[in-house]
Amino acid sequence: MIFSYSQVRDLLLPQINLEKIAQVNQGESYITFPFDIGNLEPLIFEANVSPNFIIRERKDSRLMAVLTGQIVIRMYDEYSFPVKTPSYIPQIAFYFLTGHKESVNKLTLFGKIAHHSNGQDGNFYDENGDINLQSGNFATNYVELGFLKSSYSNKLNAFKFIKSAIEVHPKPWMLEELQGQYSGLRWHNTFLAYKFPIKGSIIKSKEQRANFSLKAETTWMLDNFNNNNAFNINRLNASLIVYYHPKFLEDIGLFIQLYHGMDYYNVYFNHQLSIIRFGIMTEVLRF
C-alpha cells in the first residue's frame, strides 16, 4: 500500500482528539500576580478556577459534553482583603467532531448553555442611582454556538486553532436592569497557536506540551446597548495572552495578558479596562 505525503504526516503527528479540542475551547485556570499596569482597581489577585468534567460514551466518540463549574474571584487590595461578588459561570458545552477522525485538520461544531451571576441579592442600584458594586444582584443566562478549526503548521512547528461563535443572552433570561446596558448579542473570534521547541520533535508515541502558546481574542457586541452607534470602540473587547512553559515546571507556566474592553467581572460590566497583567496558568494540554 502506497501512502501520500499528507497521509504519512497524519500518521506520524499526534492526533488532536475531541477531548483536546474541547480543552482548548474551555480554557485554563490561572491566578494573577498582585501588580498590573492599567486602570483596574488594585488587586491582590484574580483567579479563574475552571474544572472540566467530560461526559461521553467512549474515548473515540464524535459527540461529547463538558460540564464546567467556572468561578472567577478577585481579592482586592483593601482593608481585610475582601473578595467582592465572585463570578459564578456554571456551563455545559456540547462538541461534535466532523470529517475524518485521523486527519490533522479538523472542524468541530459546538454549543454551550451557561449561567453567569454573582451570588448577591441586593438592589441593582444604590441610593445614589449608581450600580451597586457591593451587593447588587447580577444574573444572566446565555447560549453560544460556533465552530473550532484545528490544523498543524509545518513551517511554524505549531498547532493552530481558529474559533468563531455567536453568544446570545435572550431578554427573558437576563435580569431586567441589565437590559439595554449589557450586551446580549456578541460575536467571538479567537486564534490560538501552540509552539513546540524543536522542529520534528513531535512524535506520536510521546506526548509533550508546547513551550509557548499565543491566544488572541476579539469580541464585537452587535446589539443596541447604552445607545452606542454601530462602530463605537466600546463595542470591542480584545485580549492577547502569551504563555511560556519553563522546562523546570511541570503543570504551570507564566503568562502576560494585554486586555482592552468591558470588565467581564459580573456587576462591574460598566467599567472599561485597558490593562497589562502577569500571572501563572495551568497548561495541562498535551499533544
Beta strands in the chain (DSSP E): 30-38, 43-49, 52-55, 63-76, 87-97, 106-117, 139-153, 158-168, 185-195, 212-221, 236-244, 252-262, 272-282
**Domain locations in the chain?**
5-282
8 CB contacts (<8 Å, ≥6 apart)? none
* Structure confidence by residue, pLDDT tens digits, 169-211: 999 999 999 999 999 999 999 999 988 765 544 444 456 677 8
Give pLDDT, residue 244: 92
- For the record, the C-alpha cell of 145 comes out as 454556538
Check pLDDT > 80 for residue 268: yes
Check pLDDT > 80 for residue 2: no
Give pLDDT, residue 206: 56
Check pLDDT > 60 for residue 250: yes
* Structure confidence by residue, pLDDT tens digits, 11-33: 556 568 898 899 889 888 999 99
**Contact criterion met (CB below 8 Å) for 183 and 225:** yes
- At the top level of CATH, the class of 5-282 is mainly beta
Give pLDDT, residue 100: 79
Check pLDDT > 60 for residue 3: no
- pLDDT over 70, % of the chain: 89
